[in-house]
Chain A
Amino acid sequence: MSIPPIELINVTKTYGEFKAVDDISFTVPEGTICGFLGPNGAGKTTSIRMMLDILRPSSGSISILGAPRALDVRRRIGYLPEEKGLYKKMTATAMIAYFATLKGVPAREAKTTAGQLLEKYGLGSFQNHKCEALSKGMGQKVQVLASIAHDPDLVILDEPFSGLDPVNQGVMEEVIRDIRTRGKTILFSTHVMSHAERICERVVIMAAGRLIFDGTVEEAQSLLPRRVRVRGEGAASTLEQMHEVLSSSPSTDGREGVVELRLREGADPQKLLKNAFEKKIALEIFEVVDPNLHEVFVHLVGEDAREAAFR
């Protein structure tokens, strides 16, 4: 098995009394898209900065692409920070090329790549525009492209979707998937669960400096009980008697007479269907609903998540 691109072992970062990151350990396997989730102040940015060796952890160890310090392998890492800025007076091409050269790409090659990337992601006609003339969304795309122009093996994006309209969010997802297609590893932090749900294979969730989940999206979803929505005469009253069902309540999806049954952990919805069939209940609706990541997130981080979820 290959060395995981990101491996954190018992990493802690303290500022005086305050523990910004408290004893976290996780790994991100090669070639995966990993979502890094957590409410504001959870310690995501601090963790990312430690992975990049911009900050040193107070204790614990970090291995990035097999190296103890990210700076040793900086040419193989791409990074987009949370707050995005550009050199206002530089052109989009020059800006992307500059960051690529800092990562060791020869100047001429960097310039060519910059032009190609801008072309590919719909900014071809803005190549020679100064960054100050770009819209916020365009500027952000330029920054993302600047962080990947040297074709890094590991890409770390801090809040890549924030501030983008839905169309550009789609483009950003495309960028991330493209990187993955080339066999690279991506870690990105976000507050928007739908993005994570759509493109991530794994998620790492942090809250208040601690790691509260690390696993695949399916594993995360399995943390919450599944639900079954039913409609039909006597369906709800019969099925809610079953051992598998925890509770029932009218469905909130707006449809008349639909009842939502929450299942016990590990319960098989097929048993409910079988039971209804045996009891000869005329089912009009029988839907198995998997919990979404948002619900898992809210469940895991509780009240802390409120602020984050509505961002």
Chain B
Amino acid sequence: MIQVFRIAQREYMENVKTKGFWIGIIIFPILIWMMIELPKFLEEQGIPTRHLIIVDRSDGSGDIARQRITLLNRQKILAGLQKHMADATKSQREEKMDEIDLDPDQLLDQLEEGLERLGNPDLEIQPFQPDQLVKIGDLLPEQMLLDDTQWRNLKKLLLSQLPEDTPEFIEPPLRFQEVLLPDGYSLSNSDEEIEDLMRPYLRSEKNLKFGEEEVELFALLIIPEDVLKTNTRVRFWSPNLADNDLIDGILDSLSEEARQLEYNRRGIESKDVAEVASMKVRSVKFNPNKREGDEKVGIRDKIRQYAPIGFVYMLWVAIFTIAQMLLNNTIEEKSNRLIEVLLSSVTTTELLLGKVFGVAAVGVTMQCAWIGSLIAILRYKAGPSATWIADLIAAVITPELLGGFVFYFIAGYFFYAFLFAGIGSICNTIKEAQNFMSPLMLLMMVPLGTMTFIPNDPNGAIATALSWIPPWTPFVMMNRMAASPPVSEIYGTAALLLISVLVVFWLSAKIFRIGVLRTGQPPKLMELFRWLRGTHS
């Protein structure tokens, strides 16, 4: 046994000393950090204001489009304001660990009351809870944003609710800004003339003048006459067809207006329509697996439902990175014939076990480093007692999930490690190994493919069937863990998995014993079969 330990120790030390190992350790937190920081960074950098020209040949439809642009602009400011409020109330919210149920209607009533009393020193404004401040932005009706006075007051009201030491809120730049046609052109020119003229501007070959500045043209919008009544189309020119917010929003507004006209023509009160349209059936979700009286599904439960996907992915990545490591260094030892010296000192089984354990230790180190850095980053980013990280950790650290992860990591790793070591032992080069690897890779892709749909029906027929196939058991069962699969299935599949680990160990030890000393071509399948039957040596 001491030999197994020595081999494992060397295997561990040698892998830990490689650059690849450290790159792997460091790159993960960097990626996570970037995932957190990059959107924020881009947001802060901000997409610069985009400039557009509206050629309006209709009767008032251009104003509808302009209103939409105002809405888009104010939504962006509102998003900035929400973030500002979230930052300003962070410490207050952290103190309150309980989740507050926010009643949207009541919150809006309170807001309207606040707006009415604003500016009147005799009437007291009912203060908002920090949580309410963060969430209220999502509830505001468009009408409130479009009304200039209400909008101004709204900002004032919300900002007045923030703690005194809050820094000043700086409005982000506008999202869209209308500019005029260049000098000498007007609506008297035909669409074709205007389009020909604007082409070089749209291609960024020329810049437009906007006040003192030179600006790039983002889009040209031509609204034809009678756009709301006939089937004519709005012509939208832009070099950037990926950003559809502008045109989609404008078309929405125009369609809405067209519908209004049509309601009127048919004698339907548009107010009625709006009221009817605002009707919504809502739901409250319950989970029968939870304790009685506690069945209501909260955020924590949602995280819990999706946490297994994260675990499955981590399991998959961990198992295959380290099993690959094992494959590579088995081939290295084999191709430089070190294996012979090793085998004069240890038995093949000791060698196989030593390597598998050593590499497992490398993997565990890597996992711990990853999880540790993840928690460190989340804590650092979210402050020492952030509620959501508490939620996340509480959701993830349950005996089923954590225990499942540890068990399936170990069992899954040994299953694939023995398989890979066996393959490594019959190949002299990585290239040869690839021939054996490709069918195995296909086998391994299956759990990744099923990863996202299993949570939708975690105890369904497909999920159950896949659970009983040992190469997939770790991933599929991990995936189902949050949905409390039947106990008989948990233990049954686990037993089958453990038996298969032993079988794979026995088979690969047999192949390993013969394979490691073999030189030249890797064996044919038939030959492998003979080895397994023991008719060789």
Residues of A within 8 A of B (CB): 15, 49, 52-56, 70-71, 74, 77, 79-90, 98-99, 101-104, 143, 146-147
Contact = CB atoms under 8 A, between A and B. Distances in A.
Contact of B537 (A56, A81, A104): A56
A85 B347 contact: no
- Could you say which interface size class chain B belongs to? 20 to 34
Q: Which of B2, B344, B347, B517 has the most CB of A within 10 A?
A: B344
B341 A79 contact: yes
Contacts of A104: 2
A85 B340 CA distance: 10
B517 A74 contact: no
Nearest to A131: B336
Given A54-B344, A74-B345, A89-B14, A102 B336 contact: no
Given A55-B517, A89-B18, A70 B344 contact: yes
Contacts of B333: 85
Contacts of A99: 341, 345
Contact of A101 (B6, B336, B337, B517): B6
B17 A81 contact: no
24 contacts: A15-B537, A49-B340, A49-B517, A52-B343, A53-B344, A54-B517, A55-B517, A70-B344, A74-B344, A79-B341, A80-B341, A81-B341, A81-B344, A83-B340, A84-B337, A85-B333, A85-B336, A87-B14, A87-B338, A89-B14, A89-B17, A89-B18, A102-B346, A104-B2
Interface in B225-243: none
Nearest to B517: A54
Contacts of B17: 89
Contact of B7 (A49, A70, A102): A102
Nearest to B334: A85
A85 B345 contact: no
A103 B345 contact: yes
B10 interface: yes
B346 A54 contact: no
B509 to A, nearest CB: 15
B342 interface: yes
B207 interface: no
B3 interface: yes
Closest 10 A-B residue pairs measured CB to CB?
Answer: A85-B336, A83-B337, A81-B340, A79-B344, A102-B345, A52-B344, A85-B337, A85-B338, A54-B343, A101-B6
Main secondary structure of the interface of B (DSSP, over half): helix
A266 to B, nearest CB: 43
Nearest to B530: A16
B315 to A, nearest CB: 29
A115 B225 CA distance: 93
Nearest to B335: A85
A255 B333 CA distance: 54
A87 B17 CA distance: 13
B457 to A, nearest CB: 48
Contacts of B2: 104
A84 B342 CA distance: 12
B277 to A, nearest CB: 69
A151 B333 CA distance: 24
Given A54-B517, A87-B14, A89-B14, A81 B347 contact: no
A77 B343 CA distance: 12
Nearest to A150: B345
Contacts of A88: 336
Interface in B5-20: 6-7, 10, 14, 17-18
A103 B3 CA distance: 8
Contacts of B6: 98, 101-102
Contacts of A71: 347
Contacts of A103: 345
Given A56-B537, A86-B338, A87-B338, A98 B10 contact: yes
B6, B7, B333, B517: residue with the most chain A Cβ atoms closer than 10 Å: B6
A191 to B, nearest CB: 18
A271 to B, nearest CB: 52
Contacts of A90: 14
Nearest to A54: B343
User: A77, A81, A98, A102 — which one has the most chain B CB atoms within 10 A of its CB?
Assistant: A102
A79 B341 CA distance: 6
Given A49-B340, A89-B18, 7 more contacts: A55-B537, A81-B341, A83-B337, A84-B337, A85-B335, A102-B6, A102-B7
Interface string B305-340: 000000000000000000000000000010111101
Contacts of A146: 341
Nearest to A74: B345
Nearest to B14: A89
A49 B517 CA distance: 10
A80 to B, nearest CB: 8
B537 A102 contact: no
Contacts of A54: 340, 343-344, 517
Contacts of B7: 102
Contact of B344 (A77, A84, A86, A143): A77
Interface string B13-31: 0100110000000000000
